[in-house]
Amino acid sequence: MLRNVIMKDLRRWWSDRNAIFVALLLPLLLTAILGISFGGFGSGLGISAIPLAVVGDLPSLPRQFLDDALREMELFDVTWTTREDAERRVRKGDMRAALIIPDDLLASIAEGREASFVLWKDINSEFKAGIVEQILERMLLQWRAGEAAYYGAWPGEWYPEAGAPDAFGDLFAGDSVLDVYERIRDGSSEAEAAWERTKAILDRQVAIQDAFGQPGIDLRVESRGGEEDAEGATRRAERNMFNYFLPGMAVFFLMFSAAAAGADLHREREGGTLRRMLVSPLSPLQLLMGKWSFATANGLLQLLVLFAAGKLIFRLNLGPDPLALPAQALATSAALASIFLVLGLLTRNEKQAGQIGTGLILLMAIIGGNFMSPSAMPAFIRAAARFTPNYWANQGFNEIVGGSGGLGAVGPHLAVLSVTALVFLILAVLLLGRRRREGGLL
């Protein structure tokens, strides 16, 4: 008898094309959008080259050096332009940032004066402009470290006193290395002296560089996922982003299916089929268990079909343990089936169940991490997340799909979900008894 109730509901559910569309195709569609947006099959973050304007009147050699350095990072789309044009384009959003090189940069460096680079950032491009800022700050930090070490080591061999003649003279004037070479080869005594000084500086630079080559501190960086950072960047670039998005979307849409199954009691009551079933030998408790079993089996089927489709379409990682994923799917479906069955029994009609259910689902989805990892959220939301079933479902699936964990890795998640399923099922039985006593079931 119970099997008949479950099979009838399953047949009814899977013959509804709209339900299949929302339960299966929509999560796959959203996974595709999210995955493609954030890098798809391991092409990093999928961020396009950052349009960067550079303004500065540098001689061609240092200009070429800077241009090459920026382009070699393969992060920037560099355009040399005027200050006015750079400002206009950053304000308009055509350029994400503009780097203004100080006019007297080389002279400032040679004479030991302070100089400031200016970075204009597009106000609507916090992310990409932020990347530019971080990279420039890192470059300047390296310069600062080298300069401080040099000065600490040879304080007497520093910049000329104010008003003293420039020790380099016009040795580096001109646009090519050839000019500099010719000046040294055929040069005057000034050129000879300037070259000697340059060699001394270069020798010290080499000494400093050698000294930096022997690291004093062995910094090991380990991220939450346990990746060693030496290889972490490569691994991140190889990540299949669909592994991270499909579980969240699958659980999100499973909640809608579970809510619809929970509200099915109202549908059957309003359609009169509940009355007919209750005059059969089927007891109300059996009917309730039938509805719960249907919702659990339906959820399990939905998740397994989604993960199988994910494997085919998105090359999803299903983990090393063949039991882990089905066990996690079963526990998730059972917990959500119990919760939404309780909601079905607490509400008065299908519309109310639908409205409250959808509100609850959206709230749980934000807090429980279906849209964004809970670790990126404020502390109080992270604490609240642990009280949502979808958090344990998402975390468990992420352990399997994202972290290649086995049954042992999802043990705590299975335990929490199973206890949730049991507690809410007992609550549903108690509520059913109350509604029967009050005559509200029919």
Token digits of residue 241: 């982003």
38 counts as binding another protein under rule CB under 8 A: yes
Q: Which of residues 188-217 bind another protein (CB under 8 A)?
A: 204, 207-208, 210-212, 214-217
Considering the complex, state which of residue 99 and residue 429 has its C-beta at the smaller distance from another protein: 99
Binding residue for another protein (CB under 8 A) from 84, 114, 186, 438?
A: 114
Query: In this structure, are residues 85 and 103 in contact, taking their beta carbons and an 8 Å threshold?
Result: no
Considering the complex, state which of residue 34 and residue 78 has its C-beta at the smaller distance from another protein: 34
Q: Which of residues 13-32 bind another protein (CB under 8 A)?
A: 16, 18-19, 21-22, 25-26, 29-30
Token digits of residue 254: 């499973």
Considering the complex, what minimum distance in angstroms separates the CB of residue 323 from another protein?
24
Q: Which of residues 381-400 bind another protein (CB under 8 A)?
A: 381-382
Considering the complex, what minimum distance in angstroms separates the CB of residue 133 from another protein?
5
Give which of 24, 404, 397 is closest to 247, Cα–Cα: 397
Task: Show contacts of 280-287: CB within 8 Å, 24+ apart.
Answer: 280/1, 281/1, 282/1, 282/2, 282/5, 284/432, 284/436, 284/441, 285/429, 285/432, 286/1, 286/2, 286/5, 287/5
126 counts as binding another protein under rule CB under 8 A: yes
# chain residues binding another protein, by CB under 8 A: 102
Considering the complex, what minimum distance in angstroms separates the CB of residue 11 from another protein?
16
d(CA 222, CA 205): 33
Angle (CA) 269-275-280 rounded to 5° is: 140
Q: Which of residues 355-384 bind another protein (CB under 8 A)?
A: 355, 359, 362-363, 366-367, 371-382
Q: Which of residues 63-92 bind another protein (CB under 8 A)?
A: 87, 90-92
Binding residue for another protein (CB under 8 A) from 5, 6, 28, 34?
A: 34
Q: Which of residues 283-312 bind another protein (CB under 8 A)?
A: none
151 counts as binding another protein under rule CB under 8 A: yes
Q: Which residues of 365-376 are buried (b: 16+ CB within 10 A; e: fewer)?
A: bbbbbbeeebee
Token digits of residue 21: 């569309």
